Amino acid sequence: MALSKIQSASMDTGVPTRAQMPAGSVLQVISGYNSGKVTTNATSFTALATSPSITPTTATSKILVSLSTNIARQGSAGNAYFAVYRNGTTSLLQSGQVEHFGFWNDYSAYTFTSMTWQYLDSPAVATPVYYQIQGKTDGAAVSAVVGGRGLDETHTNGVLWTLMEIAA
């Protein structure tokens, strides 16, 4: 009886639970920051920056992934490629993106760009998820850089993450 009485009392307040929120409602926001710059010259995708984790309320929730950083290519003989993965294994590449969302092949000493990226993910789980920027290159003569400018060790900006759970 007491449980039923508590449920009635909470329903009388008119405050919906997360599961009762209408589609499109923001259920939670998680923010995090990776400081500094990370580089790799690996030829397969390697983790460079990882978001904080977020635990969706239900398996039908969407997660809006937003990140802001600098990405760069350092070296003069090859390309650098970047992608975002869920839980380190599931690529979030969109249709038309062969294997990356950013890369360079101009073969100057180093190139960089400021980058913001957003993606509405459907992880289909109610367990913790996290996201990673991963990078790879054509080989040892070139590096993929996240969070700074190629050869510049003084000016680094890291990666700013915002994860929002959206009711579906």
Residue 122: give its domain's CATH number.
2.60.120
Domain of residue 43, residue span: 21-166
Predicted pLDDT at 1: 36
Predicted pLDDT at 2: 37
Predicted pLDDT at 94: 60
Residue ranges of alpha helices (H) inside the chain are 2-12
- Assigned domain for 8 exists: no
Q: How many Å apart are CA 55 and CA 132, to the nearest integer?
A: 16
- Assigned domain for 9 exists: no
- Assigned domain for 58 exists: yes
Q: Which residue has the higher pLDDT, 20 or 83?
A: 83
User: Number of structural domains, the chain?
Assistant: 1
Q: How many Å apart are CA 96 and CA 26, to the nearest integer?
A: 29
- Asked if the model's pLDDT at residue 168 lies above 50, the reply is yes
For residues 60-80, give the mean pLDDT: 88
- Asked if the model's pLDDT at residue 151 lies above 60, the reply is yes
Count of helix runs (H) and strand runs (E) in the chain: 1, 11
- Assigned domain for 16 exists: no
pTM: 0.81
Exposure on the CB side of residue 90, measured as CA atoms within 13 A? 9
pLDDT level of residue 106 (50, 70, 90 thresholds): low
- Asked if the model's pLDDT at residue 143 lies above 70, the reply is yes
3-state secondary structure of 34: strand
- Assigned domain for 89 exists: yes
- Give the pLDDT confidence of 122-133 residue by residue, as tens digits: 999 999 999 999
**Contact yes or no for 57/168 (Cβ under 8 A):** no
- Give the pLDDT confidence of 107-123 residue by residue, as tens digits: 555 567 788 889 999 99
Beta-carbon contacts of 81 under 8 Å, excluding residues fewer than 6 positions away, are 45, 99, 100, 102, 103, 135, 136, 137, 144
